[in-house]
């Protein structure tokens, strides 16, 4: 049997990724759609963070581990989430809605 995997849950990181997702989603919505609503911006930003992280991993672009600070919001994390959110909005707007 392979080694065990330990997953730790830290509420601070949930709050941090919520803030990162919200900021990235708002910026991406403003650029792609000209406006933003908080609920959809948060969702788009969080999905964008996953997509952006995957894109950066596939391209072998190292972002680096978060700093051990009290509130670990970094500009690079927001940038990765923003790029992913732009990709998500592009796919939603062009492919799903038929504006390709």
Other CB atoms within 10 Å distance of the CB of residue 7: 4
Q: Please give the structure tokens belonging to residue 42.
A: 């948060």
The domain locations on the chain are 11-90
CA 27 to chain centre: 12
Give tens-digit pLDDT for 70-81.
666 778 888 888
For position 30, what pLDDT does the model report? 87
pTM of the full predicted structure? Answer: 0.73
- pLDDT class of 47 with cuts at 50, 70, 90: confident
Alpha-helical runs (H) found in the chain: 11-33, 38-58, 75-91
* DSSP single-letter state for residue 60: T
Q: In sequence order, which residues have a C-beta less than 8 Å from that of residue 93 and are 6 or more positions away?
A: 32, 33, 99
- pLDDT class of 7 with cuts at 50, 70, 90: low
């Amino acid at each position: 049997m392979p080694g065990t995997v330990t997953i730790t849950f830290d509420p601070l990181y949930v709050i941090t990724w919520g803030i990162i997702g919200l900021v990235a989603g708002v910026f991406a919505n403003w650029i792609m759609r000209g406006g933003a609503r908080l609920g959809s911006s948060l969702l788009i930003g969080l999905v964008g963070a996953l997509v952006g992280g995957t894109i950066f991993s596939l391209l072998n672009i190292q972002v680096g581990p978060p700093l051990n600070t009290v509130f670990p919001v970094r500009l690079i994390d927001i940038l990765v989430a923003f790029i992913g959110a732009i990709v998500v909005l592009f796919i939603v707007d062009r492919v799903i809605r038929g504006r390709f």
